[in-house]
Amino acid sequence: MTYYLISLAGLLPIFIILGLSFNLLLGYGGLLSVSHGGFFGVGAYVTAILITNNHLEFIPAVLIAAAITGVVSLSVGYAAGRLSDEFLFIVTIAVQVALVELFNNLSVTGRSAGFAGIPRPTIAGFHLNSNTDVGVLIWICCAIVAVICYRVVRSPYGLLLKALREDVPAARSLGKRALRTKVTVFAFSAAIAGVAGGLYACNIQFVSPADFTVDRSVEILALTIIGGLAAFWGPFLGATVVVVLPEALSFANIPDTVAGPINGIIYTLAVLVLLVLRPQGILGRKDAVRSKVVTAGSDAAVPEPVDASPSRPDPTVHLGIGAPEPGVPHQPPVELRSDGLGVAFGGLKAVDCVSMAVRPGEITALVGPNGAGKTTLFNLLTGAVRADEGRSFFGDREITRLSIERRAQLGVVRSFQEMRLFAGMSVLENVQVAASDPAGETLLGQFLPVRFRRGRGGERQRAEEVLRTLGLDDRRDVLARDLSYAEQKMLMMARLLATGARCYLLDEPMSGLDQAARSQLTALLRRMVQDGTSVCIVEHSMQVVREVASWVLFLESGHLLTEGTPEDVMSDPELRTIYFGQPA
């Protein structure tokens, strides 16, 4: 009985480690994979081979196994960055099946008969002789992995993972590196699963392909969901359920042949019930479930009268935009310019040879009827859509071929008509992730001492400052999806301002706002451009354009028909006909 309990106690931390690693992927990163069982196997086999055949000690063997598992997972990580969720899911199934096939057919893995005779681990010449010694080793490793995972999820990298879980295009438009982050989290998570595999091999002293099938992947998925997505302690609870349940069935004298399927049915039912009644899992928070993007028309964002109470500070009073941060050189004003920019979708020329400029220190309005190509022009200027023709420049620098995140890092950011807030993250987190310097968001950087870390740091203070300035500091802990419509618009602006960009392209920022909120936003935009920042807004209301803009670009059927002061453009009879349908 004691032997039995010890071996069970050795199994539990292994599943906790698997859950911790998978929670990074699914809970924090929103990436659904069913190849974790296979990665667990890679770690187990590599450790077994290195210890048994190459007589390596435990620590180098398991570190090499983790590294190899991480490398093997890179293909899936790359797919995660490139593919939609559905295709990623299919890729991970294929990788899982392929890995089991390899385990079954390679002579070095012992084929379907498995790999037997794995010696107990040796550490620094000290041989662990008993199951108790190995159990202690596994728990120590589990504690180390837990500390590492805790550090990752609390870091700027962890915050970025959550932002990517919520909305990849929005994160990229803030300068965040989605592909790199997804690839690294996949490799990191797989490497930890590899460590779990190494511990498993040393604990059981025998591994076979049956231990690492898709069932194991589903088990890891189930334990993570049961414990709670993005709940740090979730894997501890989930692993306990997964390890104890089969044992409970065996105590009930249910034969192995029946116990296996019953096990699977119970997991499946538990996961289904949870997904319906409590999708965030037992210990998870509501915000860990990927949110619908907050859109202007969604339930979460039904326009309601703005809370323009007198107590809300005037955003123009304290706005420190333009005041250089200590130690940060002042950024000179820069013009965003296009030269003959154009793109066609099939036969439709959405933007046709447009040459324009968004000048520093001015609010430019981009107007035109529905379908004129205004949003597409924003997409071209920010790199969301690749131009078929023409070039774009930011100051002296050509940016035509640069990605959306690279342009944002240079200082060109945009908002979306649908706002695209990180709906399941708090107000503070939304702004903090925007304020964080992409250079400081590497996975490795989170483990370096502060003085060796890249990036500016201090993102939390900057985020708090921006929230204070925009009068949102009392809402900092509220989820973005729970804000009023007007507050969401302000949060959208706060998120952009926190990037410290020099050029802002705002797609219908005033839409849905009442007069009080509009005035608040107008004041903010005016204050923004005072230091040479450039702002371009897409706007349908000519009244707003007159109030806010000093220059107007008129687009129609993809062509830039004219540009000038609001008065000039509005008084042109031909344009009035096009725009308002009034006879010239």
Nearest-approach distance from CB 540 to ligand ATP, in angstroms: 7
Work out how close the CB of 384 gets to ligand ATP at its nearest, in angstroms, rounded to a whole number: 10
- Give the shortest CB-185-to-ligand ATP separation in angstroms: 29
- DSSP state at residue 69: H
Per-residue contact flags (x/-) with ligand ATP for residues 369 to 408, judged by CB under 6 A: -xxxxxxx--------------------------------
Could you tell me how many residues of this chain bind ligand ATP (CB under 6 A)? 11
- Residue 404: in which H helix or E strand, if any? helix 404-410
Considering only CA atoms, which of 473, 521, 464, 534 is closest in space to residue 498? 464
Residue 561 to residues 350, 356, 391: CA-CA distances in angstroms?
Answer: 14, 11, 19
| CA atoms within 13 Å, Cβ hemisphere of 455 | 26
Nearer to ligand ATP among residue 275 and residue 348 (C-beta): 348
> At its nearest, how many Å lie between ligand ATP and the CB of residue 385?
7
Residue 138 or 560 with smaller CB distance to ligand ATP: 560
Question: For residues 287 and 508, which CB has a smaller minimum distance to ligand ATP in the complex?
Answer: 508
Sign of the alpha-carbon torsion through 517, 522, 525, 527: negative
Q: Strand 336-345 and strand 348-358: pairing?
A: antiparallel
Asked if 76 and 95 touch (Cβ cutoff 8 Å), the reply is yes
Structural tokens at position 562: 């004219």
Give the C-alpha separation, 358 to 360, whole Å: 7
The residue (of 371 and 573) whose beta carbon lies closer to ligand ATP is 371
Q: Is 297 in the site for ligand ATP (CB under 6 A)?
A: no
Number of C-beta neighbours around residue 273 at 10 A:
11
Least Å distance between CB 170 and ligand ATP? 17
- Touching ligand ATP, residues 337-376 (CB under 6 A): 345, 348, 350, 368, 370-376
Return d(Cα 538, Cα 536) in angstroms, integer. 7
Looking at beta carbons only, is 46 or 553 nearer to ligand ATP?
553
> Which residue, 98 or 348, is less far from ligand ATP as judged by CB?
348
CB of 373 or CB of 383, closer to ligand ATP: 373
Report the first-to-last Cα separation within the chain, whole angstroms.
Answer: 94
Q: Given the DSSP bridges, would you call strands 534-538 and 115-116 parallel, antiparallel or unpaired?
A: unpaired
Q: Which is nearer to ligand ATP, 80 or 384 (CB)?
A: 384
Strands 348-358 and 397-398, bridge-based pairing? unpaired
User: Which whole-number Å values give the CA distances from 260 to 39, 250, 266, 373, 425, in the listed order?
Assistant: 22, 10, 10, 59, 39
State the minimum distance, in angstroms, from the CB of residue 416 to ligand ATP: 11
CB of 82 to ligand ATP, least distance (A): 18
Q: Which is nearer to ligand ATP, 343 or 431 (CB)?
A: 343
Q: Residue 90 contacts by C-beta under 8 Å, 6 or more apart in sequence?
A: none
List of residues contacting ligand ATP (CB under 6 A):
345, 348, 350, 368, 370-376
